[in-house]
Chains A and B, each alone.
Chain A
Amino acid sequence: MTPTPAVSRRSLLKGGLALGATAGLATTGCAYIPSEAKAKVQLPRSAKAKIDGDLIYFNWADYLDPSTFKGFQKEYGVKIIQSNFDSMEGMYAKLQAGNQYDIIFPIAKWVQKLRLEGKVRAIDHGQLSNADQVFYSGSYYNDPWYDDKSAVSVPFTVYKTGIGWRTDKVDAISGSWKDLWNPQAAKRIFTLDDQDEALAMAALLLGYDVNTAKPSQLDEIKKLLVSQKKYLRAYSSDDVNNMARGDAWIHHMWSGDFAYLREGVVKKPENYDFEAPEEGTPINSDAYCIPTNAKHPGTAMLFIDYLLRPEVAKKNMGYLYYPFPVRDALPAFADLVKDTPAANVDVKELENSNVFRLLGADEVQRRAATWTEVKAS
């Protein structure tokens, strides 16, 4: 996967960051900890995996291969009613407003939030015939950081953030986030228009925690990001199109988007490569959850079980280009990105500290103010 020096560097960083994180906890009573007590409260009970109506599905648009829906509908004789969200905030607002969905696809820290607030049901792994595909002995998901014992979630995909670049336009890449300051690609460089990702990239360069909300560190991050502006063409999260249309030569980019760009979009894939910078890369994951107020949680359980089938996971990975941590399907993903192994994600990396954690509103607001000032200056 990633070259050894990067790994050792990253684990070194992890040690330091863990220290920093504990210090943060002690001093500020970091993030969501006060509500942690609520987590002890009985989780809403798991449903039995049994058809109890049509499936009301709520996900990002185009995240699953259409054949998945067709296959499930045919096999179980139910309909899947699809709706989409375009941001986690949007998804949360819909749930908050009382809308009823049977299955949702939150990013890790939102799983944590929804669980703390009692908005998602327990998922009994014993009900899932393919549970051993993700919850096998030694699997990271037996007890992921965002969901104790995976009690309310089943892992969906994993991804990391790195740099995609044009080998035919840029001579060399240094293996550092500094590549986003490469003068050879000046005005052809894009940074993701994403508060967490942009701040994390600069934080990693400076050797800080990707979740930092310390004013002094945020100040340094701001200066660093403003210094990047003269190399930058724009902030944009439309990474695939920016690369495919030739606007970007170097793009701060999500691993799965890169895999899709290279293997599924462009005519000359050999001109595109991906790097996972040595300072470390943010790594993130999302999951399947069943809201507490779901009308058909039984069907949702069956749908999750269906998605865990290796052949279904393979098909979806070939559509989405993000790895599904389904044991017997992962080799197929490694094969999909064999020419750019940096775009693969080792599930083990989720154990590092470069994950986006759930922060308190004051911390989010400080980070937002930094990001706003970067974009506005």
Chain B
Amino acid sequence: MATREVTRPSAPATPPAGRRTSVQRTKLWGTLLALPTAWIVGFFVSSMVIVVLLSFGRTQRDGRPVFGTRLTNYDALWNEVYLRLFLRSLTYAVVTTLICALIAFPVAYAIALHGGRFKSVLIAAIVVPFFASYLIRMYAWSALLSDDGVVNSALRKAGLGGVQFLNTPYAVIGGLVYGYVVFMILPVYASLERMDLSLIEAGKDLYHGPLRTFFSVTLPATRAGLFGGMLLVFLPALGDFVSAQLLGGPKTYMIGNLIQQQFLEGQNWPLGSAMTVAMMIGLTVLMVIYLRATTTRNREQA
């Protein structure tokens, strides 16, 4: 930037120095923002638009999806089977979120308040396994928990008898919890880190027991992190299909599997798109309700 100014000495009416830098700064930010904006518009928004448009389309006889203006795909959604799947997925996602919260809070608490100089190492230890593909980690679980797998062999050696872990709803929820718990740990950890520890001491000074201190001081102070984490876990868990596919049984099919099937074997992209759009609308409504409820409560708190 500076060199360009120098090579343009004849620039008319140079604005005062202060203003120029601010204009330059806005320009700089504009350029910096342009790339990610283009990226988001190019790849995220446009693909969303395609999905929405396709949801009104149809499939040609040769299997190619084409755009259209029909509502048939949405009519097809009013199917008792799909509704049941949605409720099942919702249940799995809610249970997953609650279990994640129960796991994440103590873990984050222990690291943030008692981790000392090992804090970053401990956080890294939690995050690093998530660098491996989710799919591969799920495969690993199915190998570990299979009937003749490591865990069952150990149980049998200990004389406890084998347990059928795999292909149950518990396995699917377990997979979801394992897959997404880190999204809860990190925001909770961050809000615990930011919390003023003297608040806890103050609670204790006021003769609160540790439990009461936790519920009336620590929990409210870290509510934002917890609510954020819940959202980050709930949304992907609801749309997940990998856990049900690799760890599930004959009655654990989820909405994500349903949508995935339309795009692959089903050769019905328009129907899959309509399902996606319907689910997004449903989730947006849920999210708005959730956000309003949590923010008003936060405001009351403040």
**Which residues from chain A sit less than 8 Å from chain B, CB to CB?**
32, 34-35, 87, 89, 113, 117, 187, 193-196, 229, 232-235, 241, 245-247, 360-362, 364-365, 368-369, 371-373, 375-377
Contact = CB atoms under 8 A, between A and B. Distances in A.
Interface of B: 59-63, 81-82, 84-85, 142-143, 146-149, 164, 166-167, 245, 248-251, 253, 257-258, 261-262, 264-268, 271
A55 B261 CA distance: 33
Given A233-B167, A233-B249, A364 B81 contact: no
Contacts of B264: 87, 89
Given A233-B250, A234-B249, A247-B167, A372 B62 contact: no
5 contacts: A233-B249, A247-B166, A247-B167, A361-B267, A372-B81
Contacts of A377: 81, 84
A173 B252 CA distance: 29
Contacts of A193: 245
Given A32-B62, A365-B271, 19 more contacts: A35-B62, A89-B264, A113-B62, A229-B250, A232-B250, A241-B142, A245-B146, A245-B149, A246-B146, A360-B61, A361-B60, A361-B63, A365-B266, A368-B266, A368-B267, A368-B268, A372-B261, A375-B261, A376-B84
A102 B250 CA distance: 40
Contacts of B85: 376
Nearest to B82: A376
A11 B257 CA distance: 38
Nearest to B263: A89
Contacts of B82: 376
Contact of A371 (B62, B248, B265): B265
Given A232-B249, A234-B250, A246-B146, A361 B84 contact: no
A375 B257 contact: yes
Contacts of A241: 142-143, 146
A234 B63 CA distance: 29
Contacts of A234: 166-167, 248-250
Contacts of A246: 146-149
A122 to B, nearest CB: 21
B147 A235 contact: no
A274 to B, nearest CB: 20
Given A234-B167, A361-B63, A361-B267, A372 B250 contact: no
B62 A361 contact: yes
B261 A245 contact: no
A247 B257 contact: no
Contact of B266 (A187, A360, A364): A364
Contacts of B62: 32, 35, 113, 117, 360-361
A56 B243 CA distance: 34
B188 to A, nearest CB: 34
Contacts of A32: 62
B250 A247 contact: no
Contacts of A371: 261, 265-266
A227 to B, nearest CB: 12
Given A247-B166, A368-B262, A376-B85, A361 B249 contact: no
B59 A365 contact: yes
A375 B253 contact: yes
A195 B260 CA distance: 13
